[in-house]
Amino acid sequence: MPKVLIAAGCDLLGGGLEWRPGKSRYFKYVSSQALVELRDVNFAYDSRPVLKGINMTFPKGRLIAIMGLSGCGKTTILRHISGVLKPTRGQVKIDGQIIHELDREGLYAMRRKMGMLFQFGALFTDMTVYDNVAFQMREHTDLPENIIHDLVMMKLHAVGLFGTQDLMPTELSGGMARRVALARTIALDPMLILYDEPFAGLDPISLTVVGQLIRRLNNALGATSIIVTHDVQESLKIVDYVYFVSDGAIIAEGTAEDIKASGEAFVRQFVHGEMDGPIPFHYPDGDYRQDLNVRV
Partner 1 sequence: MPVLKNIKAIGHRSVDAVWRLGYATRFFLMTLVYSGASFRRFSLTVREMFFTGVMSLIIILVAGTFVGMVLGLQGYETLKRYGSESALGSLVALSLVRELGPVLAALLFASRAGSAMTAEIGLMKATEQIDAMEIMAVNPIARVVAPRFWAGVISMPLLAALFSALGVFGGYVVGVVLIGVDEGSFWSQMQAAVDFQHDIMNGVLKSVVFGVAVTAISLFEGYDAPPTAEGVSGATTRTVVESSLAILILDFILTAFMFRGS
Interface with partner 1 (CB under 8 A): 82, 84, 107-109, 111-112, 114, 116, 118-120, 122-126, 135-136, 139-140
Q: Bridge-partner residues for 65, per DSSP?
A: 227, 242
Residues 6 or more apart whose CB falls under 8 angstroms from that of 160 comprise: 179, 209, 213
Task: Report the nearest approach of partner 1 to the CB of residue 78 (Å).
Answer: 10
Closest approach of partner 1 to the CB of residue 86, in Å:
14
Residue nearer to partner 1 on the CB measure, 140 or 289: 140
Nearer to partner 1, 29 or 135 (CB): 135
> What is the number of alpha carbons within 13 Å of residue 212 lying toward its C-beta?
16
Q: Rounded to an integer, what distance in angstroms lies between the CA atom of residue 293 and that of residue 289?
A: 6
**Strands, sheet with 63-68, edge to edge from the N-terminal-most edge strand:** 114-117, 192-196, 224-229, 63-68, 241-246, 249-254
Give the residue with the Cβ less far from partner 1, 68 or 169: 169
Q: Pick the closest to residue 65 from 198, 263, 261 (CA basis).
A: 198
Give me the least distance between CB of 17 and partner 1, in Å please.
30
**Nearest residue (CB) to partner 1, 115 versus 211:** 115
Q: What is the DSSP string of 93-130?
A: EETTEEGGG--HHHHHHHHTTEEEEBTTB---TTS-HH
Q: Whose Cβ is closer to partner 1: residue 85's or residue 259's?
A: 85
Least distance CB 124 / partner 1 (angstroms)? 6
Residue 84 C-beta: closest distance to partner 1, Å: 7
In whole angstroms, how close is the CB of 140 to partner 1 at the nearest point? Answer: 7
In terms of CB distance, is 183 or 242 closer to partner 1?
Answer: 183
**Contact 277/265 with Cβ under 8 angstroms?**
yes
